[in-house]
Amino acid sequence: MDRIYLDRIAATPVRPEVFEAMRPFLTDAFGNPQSLHAWGRRAQEAVEGARAETAALIGAESAEIYFTASGSEANNLAIKGLAAGQQARGRRLVVSAIEHTSVLNSVKALERSGFSAVLVPVDGQGRVDPAAVERELTGDTVLVSVMTANNEIGTIEPVAEIAAVCRARGILFHTDAVAAAGSLPLDVRALGVDALSLAGDQFYGPKGAAALYVRKGVRILPLVDGGIQEGGRRGGTENVAGIVGLGRAAALARTEMAARAAALVPLRDRLLDELPRRVEHVRVTGSRTDRLPHHASFCVEFVEGEGMLLFLDMKGFAASSGSACTSKSLKASHVLLAMGLDHATAQGSLIFSLIDGTEAAAVEALLEAFPPIVERLRAMSPLYTDFLMHRGS
Amino acid sequence: MYSDKVMDHFANPRNVGTIPDADGVGQVGNPVCGDMMTFYIKVKDDRLADVKFQTFGCGAAIAVSSMVSEMAKGKTVDQALAITNESVAEELGGLPKNKMHCSNLGADALHEAIRNYRDRQAGRAPAGSASAGGHDHDDAGSCPYCDSALETEDRSVCKACRIELEECPACGGITKKGDATCLHCGRPLPGKA
């Protein structure tokens, strides 16, 4: 059976060029970048080269890039580190209701130590209104965080407008760009952001290598105290091979980004247009216009996400869902609920995210395979039976 | 994640459907926690002559319903009442820990159908009625160690990882019982009474 991978938001494959760039640093070139000798110098040069490539991906300077082990760590460092750095000025945070849990739970942790926080709601497409953010900017607000694009619904947020609103009041603005970096052209100066998180495993780099951009001059306190690595902002011996992989993946993304998007957008649009045509009571979640180029997400009514994922997997398709049953904590997606969807509809969450090289034939195969799966699950769904009965009467 | 037996019952569920002239109908669950089950029974000479179900939910919920229908069919009403959620999970070769609470409701739904049948027999419920079992799923939070959902009625222990828990009086977070300080806010916890 040919398997078709449509779960890019979970992981991307490591590009062969990326792996080749990493290989020496897993074997012969094992030096510690902080060592004075030749081994150390070679590792340090590689890390600094990767820092320059990562900075170039987002229009930053090398000195503004701090490597971390994951997007979640970058978000933790941004929220906790920036808030701690500003707490003499105020202790209020403003974030959107659809942030990644690494942002939301960092905020919760700060609330337990005396900060207060406000969640800004989103509209039915998951879009944050810059004016709604502006209304929350009180005198003691020190940090605002709104993601660049949402991983569950693909919606791209008006980050530049929100950043402008914050800058006008001298309030720091962070954006979680983990879902967007490497897929969308991002320039930290044009966006006007003070901090930005990204992760290489979202654009063909290895897992375990991510970064936080912090604008020069912005005060941030470390989460990991240690040596002088990462300018004292993050102690611990550098993950040299991972960082090199991230840098190479960033360089590839920078040159190939436009071509990659041009290839994936028609496939994405085919899914967004055609799936609701082939199956009744399927709605697209997120924005149609401001959307990640690789992202197609839906809610399929009267069925639950995990059942669809299991049947899709049996047919060779890998996808994901934000349903309660697919999460270990058995909670429906906070993103879909924040968009105003009811619990039953949110349970039918289904996300197809495309990697480069996905062929049109794969999308057509999915469009063929999907309707019978829904039909099968609806035939055993009491919600669907209920719906049919009430439609009849 | 799921045993072969669970996957078999999920992919080829037995006894799916409705019984329009059922002698008893029972429902449990709600879309908030993700799983809903409806069981229909036909009773003849005190035996479950036919059992059918419909389920909205994850793979485990569908497999559980299928297994319950198979275990109950042909049994006397009393034998069917002796089927427990635990025995169903056992028959399926086990379920993932975090699915034990929400998805493993098949026996409850069957018992609701039997209750409805008996109510109808006794004239307490009209033909065509259904009995709905409670399955509250207020947000009881999740275990700070394994992230499995906690039960609303008893948050003093995580059913999945068996750690004893308590609510921090300072921040309201769920933390490990017996610890000196709260996992979330770091404030000292009152010692054991």
Quickly state the pLDDT bin for B161 (edges 50, 70, 90). Answer: confident
Nearest to B34 among A109, A302, A323 (CB): A323
Q: Which of A112, A309, A330, A376 to mutate to test the interface with B (most CBs of B within 10 A)?
A: A330
For the residues A38-64, what does the mean pLDDT come to?
98
Domain ranges of chain A: 4-10+257-392, 16-253
Per-residue pLDDT tens over the stretch B67-107: 999 999 999 999 999 999 889 999 999 998 777 766 778 99
**Contact assessment for residue A45 and residue A389, using Cβ atoms and an 8 Å cutoff:** no
Instruction: Report CA torsion sign: A221, A225, A230, A231.
Output: positive
Q: Which of B62, B101, B102 sits opposite A380 (nearest CB)?
A: B62
Does the pLDDT of residue A274 top 90, yes or no?
Answer: yes
Angle at B28 between CA B27 and CA B29, to 5 degrees: 135
Give how far the C-alpha of residue A311 lies from the chain's centroid of Cα atoms, to the nearest Å. 26
Nearest to A195 by CA among A101, A72, A75: A75
Tokens found for residue B79: 């034998």
Q: Is the ipTM beyond the 0.90 threshold? A: no
Residues near A390 by Cβ (< 8 Å), separated by ≥ 6? none
CB contact under 8 A, A343 and B171: no
Kindly report the nearest CA distance between residue B142 and chain A, in angstroms.
Answer: 6
| Interval A183-214: pLDDT, tens | 999 999 999 999 999 999 999 999 999 999 99
Res B29: pLDDT: 85
pLDDT band at B192 (very low <50, low <70, confident <90, very high): very low
pLDDT tens, A318-350?
A: 999 987 666 656 678 899 999 999 988 999 999
For position B193, what pLDDT does the model report? 40
Q: If 0-12 CB within 10 Å is exposed, 13-18 middle and 19+ buried, where does residue A289 land?
A: exposed
pLDDT of B100 reads 75
Model confidence pLDDT, tens digit, residues A116-128: 999 999 999 999 9
Looking at residues A24-52, what average pLDDT do you find? 97
A330 and B139 within 8 Å at the Cβ level: the answer is: no
How far, rounded to the nearest angstrom, does the alpha carbon of residue A44 sit from its chain's CA centroid?
A: 29
SS3 B124: coil
Report chain B residues touching chain A, CB-CB < 8 A: 7, 10-11, 13, 16-18, 27, 30-38, 53-62, 98, 101-103, 139, 142, 146-149, 171, 173, 184-186
CA geometry: angle at A321 spanning B136 and A280, to 5°?
A: 90
A158-173 per-position pLDDT tens digit: 999 999 999 999 999 9
Given a cut of 90, whether residue A53 has pLDDT beyond it is yes
pLDDT above 70 for B139 = no
Kindly list the residues from chain B whose CB atom is less than 8 angstroms away from the CB atom of residue A307.
10, 57-59, 62
Q: Considering only the beta carbons, identify the residue of A113, A306, A382 that sits closest to B38.
A: A382
Mean pLDDT over A281-303 rounds to 97
> For A214-218, what is the mean pLDDT?
97
Query: Which member of A221, A223, A325, A355 is catalytic?
Result: A325
The answer to whether the Cβ–Cβ distance between B34 and A330 falls below 8 Å is: yes
Are B86 and B68 in contact by the 8 Å Cβ rule? The answer is no
Say whether B36 and A329 touch across the interface (CB within 8 A). no
> What is the identity of the amino acid at A180?
A
How many whole angstroms separate alpha carbon A192 and alpha carbon A194? 7
Could you give the CA distance from residue A352 to residue A363 in angstroms, rounded to a whole number?
Answer: 10
Residues A205 and A188: their CA atoms lie apart, in Å, by 21
**Residue among B19, B28, B56, B185 with most chain A CBs within 10 A, to mutate:** B56
Pair of tokens at residue B185: 């806010």
Q: A282 and chain B: CB distance < 8 Å anywhere?
A: no
Q: Which residues in chain B are closer than 8 Å to A336, comparing Cβ atoms?
A: none
Chain A residue closest in CA terms to B172: A112
φ, ψ for residue B119, nearest 5 deg:
-60, -40
Interface of A with B in 289-328 (CB under 8 A): 302-304, 306-307, 310-311, 314, 323-326, 328
Of B113, B152, B163, B145, nearest to B33 by C-alpha is B152
∠ CA A382-B103-A307 to the nearest 5 degrees? Answer: 60
Q: CB–CB of A128/A158 below 8 Å?
A: yes
Q: How far apart are CA A203 and CA B97, in angstroms?
A: 34
Contact A329 B148 (CB under 8 A): yes
pLDDT digits (tens, 9 = 90+) for A238-267: 999 999 999 999 999 999 999 999 999 999
User: Which helix H or strand E contains A282, and what residues bound it?
Assistant: strand A282-284
Give the distance from CA B181 to its chain's centroid: 34
Q: List the 85-144 stretch of A: residues with Cβ below 8 A of B.
A: 109, 112-113
DSSP 3-state of B40: strand
Q: Where do the domains of chain B lie? A: 4-132, 138-193
Is A72 in contact with A58 (CB distance < 8 Å)? Answer: no
Structure tokens at A163: 């950043």
> Residue A38 pLDDT > 90, yes or no?
yes
Catalytic-residue membership of B185:
no
Fold (topology level) of B4-132:
Sufe protein. Chain: A (3.90.1010)
Distance CA A333, CA A286 (A): 13
**Pairwise CA distance, residues A253 & A245, whole Å:** 12
Q: What digits encode the pLDDT tens for the residues B40-66?
A: 999 999 999 999 999 999 899 999 999
pLDDT average, residue stretch A8-18: 97
CB contact under 8 A, A382 and B139: no
- Residues in chain B with CB shorter than 8 Å from the CB of A380 are 13, 16-17, 53-55, 62
Stretch among A104-113, A147-156, A283-292, B102-111 having the lowest mean pLDDT: B102-111
Residue with tokens 């402008």: A164
What percent of chain A shows pLDDT beyond 70? 98
Q: Compute φ and ψ for A181, nearest 5 degrees.
A: -60, 140
**CA–CA dist A331, A324 (Å, integer):** 4
Q: What is the mean pLDDT of residues A31-55?
A: 97
Count how many pairs of residues, chain A against chain B, have C-beta atoms within 8 Å: 101
pLDDT at B138: 47
Q: What is the least distance, in Å, from the CA of A311 to any CA of chain B?
A: 8
Q: What is the pLDDT of residues B12-41, one digit of tens each?
A: 999 999 999 999 999 998 777 678 999 999
Question: What is A16-253's CATH topology?
Answer: Aspartate Aminotransferase; domain 2 (3.40.640)
CA–CA gap between residue A350 and residue A317 (Å, rounded):
12
Distance (Å) from the C-alpha of residue A303 to the closest C-alpha of chain B?
6
Q: Which amino acid is at A32?
A: N
- Beta-strand ranges (E) seen in A107-231 are 116-120, 141-145, 172-176, 195-199, 210-214
Assign domain A4-10+257-392 to a CATH class. alpha beta
